[in-house]
Amino acid sequence: MSKKRQGKVAVVTGASKGIGASIAEALAEEGASVIVNYSSSKHAAEGVVAEISARGGRLPCRAMCRGPLTSRSASARS
């Protein structure tokens, strides 16, 4: 596993499937801690998190988040 993104945190939107899932997995392979954002497919997002974890990837304590990532929505949920 390459470590060129070691110490970095990546938030990948739409990461539960398709291109977003591939990007999340690739960033984890490069050493980044990855947060998997999803809109409606929690089960698929859990699968991406499990795959990253199984490959030895780093995941923050809260590896998944649902919904839009805007400062307004984030502050409303805090």
pLDDT of residue 1: 52
Output the tens digit of pLDDT for each of the chain's 78 residues.
558 998 899 999 999 999 999 999 999 999 999 989 988 888 999 999 999 999 988 777 667 777 776 655 444 444
Query: Which tokens go with 72?
Result: 């307004």
pLDDT of residue 74: 47
